[in-house]
Structure 1
């Protein structure tokens, strides 16, 4: 590339990448399990598919983050898009268990590859243009808002398309007959997602310029990944602020596991039937993404009002924890007033988490060197996944009661309280360098810059 992009150009491209990546995944939320059931898969097999997806993503999270730091952001993002394209095609057209399971494994690998490179590219580009002290929160907030909006739109579209195909006279039957049962109405959202993945890959290759990296052989790449991963794992031990970011990510994972596991059953109990409960849950999932987008959009304002990014995280996570505790307090009641309070609590959970994310990552990027930025994001994602999985196991053995909701709320509140203490003034980075930007001895400087438009 001939020169770094300006800040506005980098933001626009980062937001576009977020939309193009997450829209296909949003399209799968409503129809995927129903499609797998329609293909004759038992619930045990479906659970196995999702377990394979999660285990693949967790196992590859750190190595693929290191791959992005060694090989480059654009190449890894394009590879993630190609894996997702293949996975969505296999899931949309597959009729046998091994094909569908392989599709879920590829989706997990694509998820691991995508964890961090786009955000790392944005931060690298901003730093190349304006230096390491540049304000990041606004762009990160817009990317998070775009992600949530894409998931919300994808959820609605993915749930609506099969229903629309069923409105016409035997349209769904004709579609299935014309393809010998290969394409069902429930397949259409996934195949549409595959088409969007093609656009994603082409956009990444064309619109995300990177400075030339030293030519790397396969041996260089393989040797560089373990060192980068090891540095990422050491980072939380060396830096108190980064450690808080990672612990907060774990607390958020616990909260999300609680609300995602418990909400479907609560929706079914409110409506009186599993089918109508599923419709209500889809609507709630879409509303949650919208609330998260609103929270992310408000992250820079929250930081300015709170006086610093760290206090903004405290306020945001505290808001989210209060919402989850409110859900727990109303779990045993089905009255109209309790339902209204539960809806408010549900919205607060997602608004708070959406507002906390950009400020947390703004802290992270000012403490981590560019050579390990994607790895640090992968460590953060892994902390969220592992803690969420552990919370899910604990919740599964607890009796139906307010207790599981309150457990998630208590963990998230503990994550918020981590931010009541000041961080360490210095932090060695992944490459051993001091990662403080020039204003690190004045902890509010970043937050003053958050109010400046580029």
Structure 2
């Protein structure tokens, strides 16, 4: 029988997995659009590539969560790494639209596969070692901090590497000649990300130990995944606290969509040129990830000071909403004081969302069983993605100025206000002591899934 890892070892491995998974995606944030245009793609084509990513991730979000609950966390995480390895290679080396679109679609599939298994593995491992009442928030906070730190480091490196190669034009020219034009300076960050993905897959396979599972059959998987998905959707309908968590995820998605869509234009308007605006936006994105990492790191302290996880979520979402409202209030201003206030507001959004996330997920994991944990995380992720997409459509048709910012801030404030009333305890299960289950035991063939980046 496999001896469960102790809590510190599980925490270290969970944090390492978070860093290795998100660092390659962070490397693509700065150069991706420029790489596509360098390959001769029109902006309509670039938009289509991102749509392929988003639609694939949304369509596969719930089925892949159920797949993790049926097949196991390690297998699904390794598959996510292999898909991202293929996707980054295609994006870095592809020269035609269909290859680049395929790469973005595969990246979306990898994103869907990854949204939950690592966190579910960590919670499974800690509870197997210390019981269902084990302390989870510290490990979840460190994983969220590691994710944001990896994205921040990746964003800086992904923007700096092509720039450094551009300082030596001969180096870029020799790189293109040696590879017959396949590798451009802008291709280097995604290729580096592909190398990191290899390390990610090897680490997942070797380090994430799981209890032995019964061999999965194709028939069992085909029966188990839909059952797990259906139970995950029913959970949000019957459990008031889980429903509140899902609505809060939707509010966070709206806030992030407004921030990500509106900040690049505001940065370009501030600097007076799109190129310099892109550099400013990359720096702001990195600063946002750092604030998110800080907020996540402070999540356990926030919960202790607030008196409970629910009040910590209220405080975090409230801080994020105040940041967006501050950005809306300064949208038409150009003075130095207004710019400082806008920067403070930008940081507050990420700081608040980072502080709220670990407490939300701590509450979620205490409401679901091991059998459906990854599915519940997938439902949460899908809620965020869908509301972000809807908010993006609304924001795109609103007139420029304070109104789009205020919309995002109002939605996030509404999400915060959901937590002003304390929830009732979970209803006991059939045995009187089990949490609500998603993806019931009968659906298993072998035992019991928030960053918005492509």
Bin for the TM-score computed over the shorter chain: over 0.9
Relative distance call for 1:427 and 1:60 in structure 2 (3 A) is farther
Q: TM-score scaled to structure 2, two decimals?
A: 0.95
| Distance in 1 of aligned mates of 2:136 and 2:184 | 44
Give SS of 1:40's match.
Answer: coil
User: Which stretch of structure 1 is more off in the superposition, 167-176 or 264-273?
Assistant: 167-176
User: TM-score, length-normalised on structure 1?
Assistant: 0.95
Which residue in 2 is equivalent to 1:449? none
- 2:104 match: 104
Partner residue, 2:422: 422
1:434 Cα shift?
Answer: 3.7
| d(CA) in 1 for partners of 2:85, 2:95 | 17
Q: Which residue of 1 aligns with 2:332?
A: 332
Per the TM alignment, residue 25 of structure 1 is displaced from its structure 2 partner at its CA by 0.1
What's the counterpart of residue 32 of structure 1?
Answer: 32
Instruction: Say yes or no: does 1:67 pair with 2:72.
Output: no
Q: Which residue of 1 aligns with 2:358?
A: 358
- 1:55-454 to structure 2, matched below 5 A, reads 55-427=55-427, 434-435=434-435
Q: Deviations over 1:364-397 (max 9, x none)?
A: 0000011000000000000000000000001011
Deviations along 1:263-285, whole A, 9 cap, x unmatched?
Answer: 00100111111111111000000
Alignment partner of 1:278: what SS? helix
1:445 — aligned with what?
Answer: none
DSSP 3-state at the match of 1:183: coil
In structure 2, relative to structure 1, the CA distance for the partners of 1:270 and 1:432 (3 Å cut) is farther
Distance 1:278 1:328 in 2: 21
Contact 1:231 1:431 (C-alpha < 8 Å) held by counterparts = no
Assess if the C-alpha contact under 8 Å between 1:427 and 1:434 holds in 2. no
1:2 to partner: Cα distance: 2.4
Q: 1:400 to 1:419 in 2, by over 3 A?
A: same
Change (3 A) 1:361 1:252: same
Q: Deviations over 1:124-168 (max 9, x none)?
A: 000000000101000000000000000000000000001111222
Cα offsets for 1:78-102 (capped at 9, x unmatched): 0000000000000000101111100
Q: Is the 8 A contact 1:232 1:430 kept in 2?
A: no
Counterpart contact for 2:28–2:189, Cα < 8 Å? yes
State the distance in 2 between where 1:430 and 1:314 align: 32
Q: CA RMSD in A?
A: 1.5
Change (3 A) 1:432 1:205: farther
Which residue number corresponds to residue 19 of structure 1?
19
Equivalent in the alignment of 1:7? 7
Note closer, same or farther for the CA distance 1:99–1:427 as it changes in structure 2 (3 Å cut): farther
Residue 426 of structure 1: how far off its partner (Å):
1.9
Is the 1:22–1:150 contact (alpha carbons within 8 Å) kept by the matching residues of 2? yes
Could you list the structure 1 runs, at least 4 aligned residues long, displaced by more than 6 angstroms after superposition: 428-433
Aligned in 2, Cα 1:430/1:390: closer, same or farther, shift over 3 Å? farther
Change (3 A) 1:428 1:106: farther
SS at match of 1:356: helix
Q: Name which of structure 1's ranges 146-155 and 416-425 shifts more when overlaid on structure 2.
A: 416-425
How far apart, CA to CA, are the structure 2 residues paired with 1:199 and 1:275?
34
1:26 and 1:430 map into 2 onto residues whose CA distance is 45
Note if contact 2:172-2:184 (Cα within 8 Å) is conserved in structure 1.
Answer: yes
Aligned residues: 437
Q: Which runs of 5+ in 1 are unaligned?
A: 438-454
Q: Quote how far apart the aligned CAs of 1:431 are.
A: 12
